[in-house]
Amino acid sequence: MDDAAVEAADEAPSKQRIGLPLLLFLATIVTTFHAGNAFVEHGTHPLRGWVFAVPFLAILTTHELGHWLLARRHRIATSLPHFIPFPLGFGTFGAVIGMRGRIRTRDALFDVGASGPLAGLLVAIPVLVVGLKLSRVLPSSPGGIDEGQSLLYLAIKWLVFGKFPPGHDVYLHPTAFAGWAGLYMTMLNLLPIGQLDGGHVAYALFGERQDRIARLVHRALLPLAVLVPAYLVFRARQAHVPWGEALSQDLPGGINWIIWWLLLRAMTRRGNHPPVEPGSVLSPRRRVLAMGTLVLFVLLFVPIAQSIHR
CB 189 within 8 A of CB 162: no
Residue 146 has pLDDT above 70, yes or no: yes
Where in the sequence is the domain holding 247, given as residue range(s)?
A: 19-308
* 220 occurs within a structural domain: yes
> What pLDDT, on a 0 to 100 scale, did the predictor assign at position 283?
94
Q: What is the pLDDT of residues 244-261, one digit of tens each?
A: 888 888 888 888 899 889
Question: Percentage of the chain surpassing pLDDT 90?
Answer: 51
Q: Closest Cα partner for 261 from 296, 298, 228?
A: 228
Residue 7 banded pLDDT, cuts 50, 70, 90: very low
Q: What is the pLDDT of residues 251-306, one digit of tens each?
A: 888 888 998 898 888 876 655 566 677 778 899 999 999 999 999 999 999 999 88
* 12 occurs within a structural domain: no
Count of domains in the chain? 1
Q: Closest Cα partner for 184 from 149, 133, 225?
A: 149
- Average pLDDT (135-147) is 86
> What pLDDT, on a 0 to 100 scale, did the predictor assign at position 43?
65
Lowest mean pLDDT among 41-55, 124-138, 263-277: 263-277
Residue 8 has pLDDT above 50, yes or no: no
Q: What is the pLDDT of residues 183-215, one digit of tens each?
A: 999 999 999 988 889 999 999 999 888 888 888
* 9 occurs within a structural domain: no
* 268 occurs within a structural domain: yes
CB 77 within 8 A of CB 99: yes
> What pLDDT, on a 0 to 100 scale, did the predictor assign at position 271?
55
Q: How far apart are CA 102 and CA 293, in angstroms?
A: 23
> What pLDDT, on a 0 to 100 scale, did the predictor assign at position 98?
77
* 287 occurs within a structural domain: yes
* 25 occurs within a structural domain: yes
* 109 occurs within a structural domain: yes
- Average pLDDT (234-251) is 87
Q: Which helix (H) or strand (E) holds 95?
A: strand 92-96
> What pLDDT, on a 0 to 100 scale, did the predictor assign at position 274?
62
- Average pLDDT (218-227) is 91
> What pLDDT, on a 0 to 100 scale, did the predictor assign at position 263?
83
Mean pLDDT over each residue of the chain, to the nearest integer: 86
> What pLDDT, on a 0 to 100 scale, did the predictor assign at position 158?
94
3 state SS of 306: strand
* 218 occurs within a structural domain: yes
